[in-house]
């Protein structure tokens, strides 16, 4: 059985492992095929690819784009896309800019709540790379403002909480188009986080299929076996590919290990073959 994991983050977004450390960790976990899916950036790709080549691991170019959505969260994974495609690159640059505008606003909100925290501390936590809310959460945790990363999101950083600031996001249509124009397949990440019931989910998938969606991440460490079953049924109904990944973030999600797709679920290499076939590879 091949061990594959198609969802993980480096410190170029909100993971804590460097690209090379992440690929080495994948090797330690005996994974044979991985996709590194940083939020809104592919800047770790070259280093990951170099390390993967050295260690004999297959690396699928990947990304996870945050799209506009209510009431929950809509993240769209892209697989097999070209990191150098100009339109994708310029779109990602504009998304980085929106993050840059959000960060000082989160600091301001936290300060207004009486919490002493500076942007400099968060920048240091991110290692000077793309800042995400988990970096704010870690600073709050290290300072003893909260007792866990979860508490930081529960009280301050989660959607609608005291220090939540929304950032400009791409629409689902734009996200899917950018992925497809760059030669990739678009897949809904962790559908559980959309926070919809079965009927609403089906309607939403139908809409997204109309926008060019190619798959659903039925397996993710945040989804139960029953949930995975539901997503697989919906995938079948809409003729979508099924993928899976751990959503590993290193110390920023301490309970999630690489290769853990939730409740002992496993994916075999056929998943990857199906994706390649759908792209004519």
Task: DSSP for 168-192, please give it.
Answer: --B-HHHHHHHHHHTT-EEEE--GG
Please work out the total of residues on this chain that contact Zn ion, with binding judged by CB under 5 A. Answer: 2
Q: Which is nearer to ligand AMP, 57 or 179 (CB)?
A: 179
Give residue number: closest CB to Zn ion. 247
Q: By CB under 5 A, name the one of 25, 75, 138, 180 that touches Fe ion.
A: 75
In sequence order, what are the residues at sequence separation of 6 or more whose Cβ sits closer than 8 angstroms to the Cβ of residue 166?
A: 102
7-66: contacts with Zn ion (CB under 5 A): 64
Pairing of strands 4-5, 33-36: parallel
Q: Decide if residue 66 touches ligand AMP (CB under 6 A).
A: yes
86-115: contacts with ligand AMP (CB under 6 A): none
Beta strands in the chain (DSSP E): 4-5, 33-36, 58-67, 74-79, 185-188, 215-220, 241-245
47 half-sphere exposure, CB direction, 13 A CA radius: 14
Picked from ligand AMP, Zn ion, Fe ion, none, the partner binding residue 5 (CB below 5 to 8 A depending on kind) is none
Picked from Zn ion, Fe ion, ligand AMP, none, the partner binding residue 66 (CB below 5 to 8 A depending on kind) is ligand AMP
Q: Decide if residue 150 touches ligand AMP (CB under 6 A).
A: yes
* Spatial CA neighbour of 78 closest among 113, 36, 50, 106: 36
CB of 147 to ligand AMP, least distance (A): 14
Q: Decide if residue 247 touches Zn ion (CB under 5 A).
A: yes
User: What tokens appear for 264 in the block?
Assistant: 């002992």
Q: By CB under 6 A, name the one of 27, 68, 89, 158 that touches ligand AMP.
A: 158
Q: Decide if residue 253 touches Fe ion (CB under 5 A).
A: no
> What φ, ψ does residue 53 adopt, rounded to 5°?
-65, -45
Distance CA 103, CA 236 (A): 40
Q: Which is nearer to Fe ion, 23 or 189 (CB)?
A: 189
User: What tokens appear for 177 in the block?
Assistant: 């188009």
Q: Decide if residue 217 touches Zn ion (CB under 5 A).
A: no
CB of 249 to Fe ion, least distance (A): 6
Q: Decide if residue 217 touches Fe ion (CB under 5 A).
A: no
209-238: contacts with ligand AMP (CB under 6 A): none
Distance CA 162, CA 157 (A): 7
What three-state secondary structure class fits 220?
strand
Q: Decide if residue 132 touches ligand AMP (CB under 6 A).
A: yes
CB of 201 to Zn ion, least distance (A): 19
> Do the beta carbons of residue 157 and residue 106 sit within 8 Å?
yes
Q: Decide if residue 38 touches Fe ion (CB under 5 A).
A: no
CB of 5 to Zn ion, least distance (A): 12
Give residue number: closest CB to ligand AMP. 132
Q: Which is nearer to Fe ion, 134 or 214 (CB)?
A: 134
* Spatial CA neighbour of 61 closest among 224, 183, 143: 183
Helix (H) / strand (E) containing 271: helix 270-278
**CA–CA distances in Å: residue 217 to residues 99, 160, 229:** 25, 25, 11
Positions touching Zn ion (CB under 5 A) are: 64, 247
Positions touching Fe ion (CB under 5 A) are: 14, 75, 189
Positions touching ligand AMP (CB under 6 A) are: 14, 39, 66, 132-134, 149-150, 153, 158, 249
């Amino acid at each position: 059985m091949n061990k594959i994991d198609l969802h993980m983050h480096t410190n170029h977004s909100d993971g804590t492992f460097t690209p090379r450390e992440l690929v080495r960790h994948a090797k330690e976990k005996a994974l044979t095929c991985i996709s590194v899916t940083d939020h809104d950036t592919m800047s770790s790709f070259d280093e990951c690819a170099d390390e993967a080549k050295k260690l004999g691991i297959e690396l699928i170019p990947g990304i996870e784009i945050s799209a506009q959505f209510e009431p929950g969260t809509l993240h769209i994974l892209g697989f097999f896309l070209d990191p150098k495609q100009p339109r994708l690159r310029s779109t990602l640059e504009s998304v980085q800019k929106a993050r840059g505008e959000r960060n000082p606003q989160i600091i301001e909100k936290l300060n207004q709540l009486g919490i002493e925290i500076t942007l400099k501390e968060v920048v240091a936590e991110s290692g000077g790379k793309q800042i995400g809310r988990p970096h704010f959460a870690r600073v709050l945790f290290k300072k003893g403002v909260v007792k866990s990363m979860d508490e930081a999101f529960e009280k301050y950083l989660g959607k609608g909480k005291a220090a939540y600031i929304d950032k400009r996001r791409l629409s689902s249509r734009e996200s899917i188009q950018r992925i497809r124009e760059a030669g990739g397949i678009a897949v809904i990440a962790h559908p559980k986080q959309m926070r919809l019931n079965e009927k609403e989910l089906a309607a939403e998938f139908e809409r997204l299929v109309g926008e060019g969606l190619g798959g659903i991440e039925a397996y993710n460490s945040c989804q139960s076996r029953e949930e995975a079953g539901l997503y697989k049924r919906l995938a079948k109904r809409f003729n979508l590919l099924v993928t899976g990944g751990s959503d590993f973030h290193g110390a920023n999600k301490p309970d999630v290990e690489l290769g853990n797709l939730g409740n002992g679920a496993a994916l075999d290499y056929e998943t990857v073959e199906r994706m390649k076939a759908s792209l004519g590879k």
